[in-house]
């Protein structure tokens, strides 16, 4: 049942509701934690989520998805994450941190230096960034070490684990998909090879951070087909992954959703199918939107968790209020928060504090 407790690697979660990674655009510089962010996470933790996955944090200063995102590329960031862990734990909420290399979408670094991508591929992805070039194996190994070092810092900071960002067109997602990864070496070809950067990172993190540290991954359930998403899930499970969070992959691929699951989108549908094939917990995310849909997923045993991002951005207390049957401020699905600029500052639902709005749930 969605509001029942859940045990994840020794941590007791209040419920099966996840606040997924959401970058607070514009809220800090140089990758540093800010007081505003800490207060934001305090409010989310108070609001009743069972698990918080803190926003994408860059493992390398030259691989940021936004200049105002968080960083975890040096020990200087440990203190900020200690505060974050303390804030979440004070409210009884475990917190993991999403770690990322922005790959082709990097906005930082020497502009004349090509952004690293797994393959020098033609078509849409190449046009997205003409600077793209293929990574050397030695560079890939270096990136694996950057992820591992980031995880170790977070472990030192007292956070509960990490989520590798293998979705949304960032570096790891480009490795995972056969559309964007055309390598002919050990990092390309079969699903095992395409997953190798991730499985190497998982194994290295496990060895450095120990058995109790939560290792998760967010990736596309259709990468590009559902069969690929399933194959990858099985590989991740075998490589020590503790939790899988399904979203969109390198190029945002989607698969048709059968009529049976017509209320859900491709991300949620692929999460349902992947859940059938692994024994580790699976998070369904992306436009779950309503508690009714969350209950279909969790109470019905279709997935282990339901994630709600914008519901909690519009109303920090969405979980508590919903559990008590109280009305909450509803996300208008206006997408103002998605402009990669000013975070939720422009959220009209939030600004007006509307208790009843024409929001379209599940959009």
Ligand X SMILES: Cc1cc2nc3c(=O)[nH]c(=O)nc-3n(C[C@H](O)[C@H](O)[C@H](O)COP(=O)(O)O)c2cc1C
Contacts with ligand X by CB under 6 A lie at: 20-23, 55-56, 98, 165, 167-168, 218, 247, 285-289, 307-310, 337-338
Least separation in angstroms between CB 185 and ligand X: 28
Q: Which is nearer to ligand X, 53 or 114 (CB)?
A: 53
Q: Which is nearer to ligand X, 172 or 183 (CB)?
A: 172
Q: Which is nearer to ligand X, 278 or 334 (CB)?
A: 334
Least separation in angstroms between CB 289 and ligand X: 6
Q: Which is nearer to ligand X, 159 or 183 (CB)?
A: 159
Least separation in angstroms between CB 153 and ligand X: 18
* Pairwise CA distance, residues 317 & 322, whole Å: 8
Least separation in angstroms between CB 167 and ligand X: 5
Q: Which is nearer to ligand X, 175 or 308 (CB)?
A: 308
Closest CA to 84 of 156, 15, 13: 156
SS3 78: helix
Q: Tell me whether the omega of the peptide bond preceding residue 347 falls within 30 degrees of 0, making it cis.
A: no
Q: How many CB atoms lie within 10 A of CB 273?
A: 21
Angle at 21 between CA 245 and CA 337, to 5 degrees: 125
Least separation in angstroms between CB 363 and ligand X: 8
Q: Which is nearer to ligand X, 108 or 287 (CB)?
A: 287
Q: Report which DSSP code applies to 105.
A: G
The residue ranges of DSSP E strands in the chain, in sequence order, are: 6-8, 11-13, 17-19, 51-58, 70-71, 95-100, 116-117, 133-134, 161-166, 214-220, 243-247, 282-284, 305-307
Between the alpha carbon of residue 152 and those of residues 49, 56, 138, 159, 211, the distances in Å are 25, 16, 21, 10, 13
Residue 199: which H helix or E strand, with range? helix 196-209
Least separation in angstroms between CB 55 and ligand X: 4
């Amino acid at each position: 049942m969605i509001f029942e407790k859940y045990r994840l690697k020794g941590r007791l979660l209040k419920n099966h509701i996840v606040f997924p990674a959401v970058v607070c655009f514009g809220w800090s510089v140089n990758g540093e934690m800010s007081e505003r962010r800490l207060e934001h996470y305090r409010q989310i933790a108070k609001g009743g989520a069972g698990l918080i996955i803190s926003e994408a944090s860059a493992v390398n200063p030259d691989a940021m998805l936004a200049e105002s995102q968080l960083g975890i590329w040096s020990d200087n960031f440990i203190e900020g994450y200690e505060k974050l862990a303390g804030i979440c734990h004070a409210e009884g909420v475990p917190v993991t941190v999403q770690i990322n290399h922005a790959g082709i979408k990097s906005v930082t670094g020497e502009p004349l230096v090509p952004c690293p991508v797994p393959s020098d591929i033609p078509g849409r992805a190449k046009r997205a960034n003409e600077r793209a070039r293929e990574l050397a194996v030695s560079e890939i190994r270096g990136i694996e070490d950057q992820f591992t070092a980031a995880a170790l810092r977070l472990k030192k900071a007292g956070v509960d684990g990490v989520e590798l960002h293998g979705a949304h067109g960032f570096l790891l997602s480009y490795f995972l998909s056969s559309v964007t990864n055309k390598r002919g070496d050990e990092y390309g070809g079969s699903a095992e090879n395409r997953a190798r950067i991730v499985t190497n990172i998982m194994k290295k993190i496990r060895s450095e951070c120990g058995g109790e540290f939560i290792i998760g991954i967010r990736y596309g359930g259709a990468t590009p087909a559902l069969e690929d998403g399933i194959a990858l899930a099985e590989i991740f499970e075998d490589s020590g992954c503790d939790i899988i969070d399904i979203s969109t992959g390198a190029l945002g691929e989607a698969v048709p959703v059968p009529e049976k699951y017509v209320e859900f989108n491709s991300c949620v549908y692929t999460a349902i199918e992947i859940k059938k094939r692994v024994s580790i917990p699976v998070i369904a995310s992306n436009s779950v939107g309503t508690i009714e849909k969350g209950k279909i997923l969790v109470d019905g045993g279709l997935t282990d968790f339901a994630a709600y991002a914008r519901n909690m951005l519009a109303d920090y207390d969405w979980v508590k209020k919903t559990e008590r049957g109280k009305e909450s401020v509803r996300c208008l699905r206006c997408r103002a928060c998605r402009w990669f600029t000013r975070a939720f500052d422009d959220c009209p639902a939030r600004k007006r504090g509307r208790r009843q709005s024409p929001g379209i749930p599940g959009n």
